[in-house]
A and B are shown apart, each in its own frame.
Chain A
Amino acid sequence: MEKNSKRNLIITLATIGIISALVLTFVYEWTTPYIEANQAKAQKQAINEVLPNVEEVEEVEKNGNIFYEGYDANGNQIGVAFQNSGGGYNGMIEVMIGVDLKDNKIYKISVLNHQETPGLGARITEPEFKSNFENKNFGDYQVVKTPPKKETEVQAIAGATISSDSMTEIIEEGLDIVTSAYGGGN
């Protein structure tokens, strides 16, 4: 039989396709538990980072968003952590935000995922930038390029204004989500 006959071409490609699909099915089955565990671990770490002295975390769904309510050792609610994401300079930025809903303050923020430029936008993960939001009242934040004078001012990372703007927007949007889910900021 001719090697380049139509039948032979179809058989060759189908066989390779089937073998490849089989191999990848096993690889997928094998790696998925590890990948999910890694993601869960990263998320748990982020929650512990943004809620101070949290002992227990409860997952709650409100308005289609998932919130993590944190309780201290005595069972008092200390705050709520939640994820929000938005477009950055190179791709999506995912942020975990921890808030104190009694005083309407941000505790801390943590960056879960981002693809910003190393050395520039990637510095959104560094304490120096994150401290811009720590212990701040909810409000409209303005990104400035000089050391901040007002509480609502956020100092942009030099050379990474877009990343700084995106972070500020993601956080502002997140605060709207959490206040509307928990009853208009009371």
Chain B
Amino acid sequence: MSIDFKELIKDFTNGLWAENPIIRLVIGMCPTLAVTNTASNGLAMGLATSFVLIMSEIVISIIKKLIPANVRIPSYILIIATFVTFTDYFLKAFFPGIAASLSIFIPLIVVNCLILGRQEAFASKNPTHRAIADGLGMGIGFTWVLTLLGMIRELFGMGSMFGFQLLGEWYRPMVIMVLPAGAFITLGILVGIMNQISREGK
């Protein structure tokens, strides 16, 4: 078996921009809107989701031929749920601070449609090495947008970034930015800017 590196790089970079899960595919919106109120929450959520995404893409691309088509969705969900539960216990045991601030949104990774979507669209049709490249690309693509959203919302909403106070006493925090409405506004503006950038690139 020969590995086509050009193809691998294309699979990897696909998720970073061209088919970025948040700004282009607009999937996985629940955690995107819910936990990006601070930069560190966004980053932690992105990394947790990436781990689950990559691991399930690996497992599913390996056993794809063994799974009958009629039960592929319940099979995928079982595999995804296993990794999510693992992540949940692992964070609670070794990173209690992160586990506390993300709380219910860690178990909810199970229903993140980005993960099931990539199994259906990619891992179940492609060899394992390509699935890893896709998982990494999509994972990093998801994480960077989540972190950026968190940074913007935390800066305007609390005057800080990653917990460090950046803006002084003179700044009156825009409370709406840390509330759900702020997530919609920021995401809308961000998607608009990104669309403008990719249109000019053409």
CB-nearest residue of chain B to A16:
B78
Beyond A13-B74, A20-B81, A31-B90, is A119–B103 a contact (Cβ under 8 Å)? no
Contact between B85 and A17, CB atoms less than 8 A apart: no
Contact between A119 and B37, CB atoms less than 8 A apart: yes
Beyond A27-B89, A31-B90, A118-B178, is A16–B75 a contact (Cβ under 8 Å)? yes
Q: State which of A12, A35, A119 has its C-beta within 8 Å of the C-beta of B173.
A: A119
B contacts with A: majority SS: helix
Give the complex CA separation of A31 and B92 in angstroms.
8
Give the complex CA separation of A23 and B93 in angstroms.
17
Contact between A42 and B96, CB atoms less than 8 A apart: yes
- Find chain A residues with CB under 8 A from B66 CB: 12
Beyond A12-B67, A27-B89, is A34–B75 a contact (Cβ under 8 Å)? no
Say yes or no: is B119 at the interface (Cβ < 8 Å to chain A). no
Beyond A23-B82, A120-B175, is A38–B92 a contact (Cβ under 8 Å)? yes
Say yes or no: is A115 at the interface (Cβ < 8 Å to chain B). yes
Q: A-facing mask of B171-197, CB < 8 A → 1, else 0?
A: 001010011000000000000000000
Say yes or no: is B5 at the interface (Cβ < 8 Å to chain A). no
| A/B interface sample: 14 pairs, CB < 8 A | A9-B68, A12-B67, A13-B71, A16-B79, A31-B92, A31-B93, A32-B93, A38-B93, A115-B103, A117-B179, A118-B101, A119-B158, A120-B178, A120-B179
Give the complex CA separation of A32 and B85 in angstroms.
13
- Find chain B residues with CB under 8 A from A23 CB: 82, 86
Say yes or no: is B112 at the interface (Cβ < 8 Å to chain A). no
Q: A-facing mask of B60-84, CB < 8 A → 1, else 0?
A: 0000001111110011001101100
Give the complex CA separation of A142 and B155 in angstroms.
33
Say yes or no: is A53 at the interface (Cβ < 8 Å to chain B). no
Minimum C-beta distance from A53 to chain B (A):
27
Interface-central residue, B66, B68, B157, by most chain A CB under 10 Å:
B68
Say yes or no: is B94 at the interface (Cβ < 8 Å to chain A). yes
Q: B-facing mask of A29-45, CB < 8 A → 1, else 0?
A: 01110110010001000
Contact between B90 and A27, CB atoms less than 8 A apart: yes
Q: B-facing mask of A93-122, CB < 8 A → 1, else 0?
A: 000000000000000000001010111100
Minimum C-beta distance from A169 to chain B (A):
22
CB-nearest residue of chain A to B75:
A16
Give the complex CA separation of A28 and B88 in angstroms.
10
Contact between A4 and B68, CB atoms less than 8 A apart: yes
Give the complex CA separation of A117 and B34 in angstroms.
11
- Find chain B residues with CB under 8 A from A119 CB: 37, 157-158, 173, 175, 178
Q: Which 8 A-B pairs have the closest CB atoms?
A: A34-B93, A31-B93, A20-B82, A31-B89, A119-B178, A119-B158, A38-B96, A9-B71
> Given contacts A4-B69, A91-B104, A118-B158, could you give 6 more A-B pairs where the C-beta distance is less than 8 Å?
A20-B78, A20-B81, A30-B93, A115-B103, A115-B104, A120-B175
- Find chain A residues with CB under 8 A from B86 CB: 23-24, 27
Contact between A91 and B70, CB atoms less than 8 A apart: no
- Find chain A residues with CB under 8 A from B71 CB: 9, 12-13
Minimum C-beta distance from B102 to chain A (A):
10
Give the complex CA separation of A34 and B157 in angstroms.
34
- Find chain A residues with CB under 8 A from B37 CB: 117-119
Say yes or no: is A185 at the interface (Cβ < 8 Å to chain B). no
Minimum C-beta distance from A33 to chain B (A):
8
Give the complex CA separation of A31 and B158 in angstroms.
34
